[in-house]
Structure 1
């Protein structure tokens, strides 16, 4: 059974790498590719399935599916009103599959903090140090675009990394 947990941890590490790529791409181009979102959901479902087999219960997978559907339904009107991008909505709908039901509270708190920090940076770019980053943020502000995929990805990376570290400790020392 420990081999299944190791495979689940490997899928989560791969998801962290993909989330880093998504954050960078969203920051530079304001686009989140559908292939990246599909790959994330595959990694998340694989990890959840392996964990469910080890745990002997499918409760976490069911809760993740329900949370993903709820997020998509709630955020879809914001896309229709042009307040969020379609990639951001799809990325948020995939997050419960990556994080699992047990990490949703930690993810929500981290996302709230990071979203507020992103809003502050976008609203007051003059508070940033002089340089290319500040000019780029001012450019995004003039376009009226906020790369919301960046705080989503960073919050997910932190949550998954925390879970991987705890999982790796339990994998190495199960007692």
Structure 2
């Protein structure tokens, strides 16, 4: 049953890669994607008989609560806030600290890139896309969420944490 859990977690990592690309292109996260991540969590942890269910639910509720408040303050899109529930559950309490550190680092880097690209008046390619985020006020925050959570979930799957 461990093999099923590992495969489900690796599938979640792959799905998070798709989330990053899709959100970057469309500035949206589909409900079906959030449900698919929840289903992968149930498969991964169900195969192990839910050994950390309580901590996983707390982590999911904590991230979703933060996302919900940020959504209310218009600092985050609804899809990004919804994505935080399955991310928290997949990460569990043991993955929250490395995820938070990676998310902070990636968020700061994204912000700096946006500001720098805008200051230099970039108009084309990736740099122009980043510069437009500053003027349009739209940031695909699913990208740093996915990029911060995927390596943590991957390491947990490989090391069976």
Both proteins in one fold, TM over 0.5: yes
Task: For 1:3-152, list aligned pairs within 5 A.
Answer: 4-51=1-48, 53=49, 58=51, 60-125=52-117, 126=119, 131-152=124-145
Q: CA deviation at 1:17?
A: 1.2
Q: CA deviation at 1:133?
A: 0.5
CA contact (8 A) 1:122 1:146 kept: no
Structure 2: 5+ residue stretches without partners? none
- Given the superposition, is the C-alpha separation of residues 97 and 135 from structure 1 closer, same or farther in structure 2, using an over 3 Å criterion? same
How many residues are matched? Answer: 160
Q: CA deviation at 1:5?
A: 0.6
Deviations along 1:10-38, one digit per CA (max 9) or x if unpaired, are 00111111111110011111000000011
User: Larger radius of gyration, structure 1 or 2?
Assistant: 1
Q: Residue 33 of structure 2: SS of its match in structure 1?
A: helix
RMSD of aligned residue pairs (Cα, Å): 2.2
Mapped partners of 2:147, 2:137: distance in 1: 22
CA contact (8 A) 1:64 1:100 kept: yes
Matched, 1:156 2:138: no
- Given the superposition, is the C-alpha separation of residues 44 and 141 from structure 1 closer, same or farther in structure 2, using an over 3 Å criterion? same
Mapped partners of 1:49, 1:154: distance in 2: 25
TM-score (norm 1): 0.82
Structure 1: 5+ residue stretches without partners? 171-175
Deviates more, 1:13-22 or 1:98-107: 98-107
- Given the superposition, is the C-alpha separation of residues 37 and 128 from structure 1 closer, same or farther in structure 2, using an over 3 Å criterion? farther
Mapped partners of 1:89, 1:122: distance in 2: 21
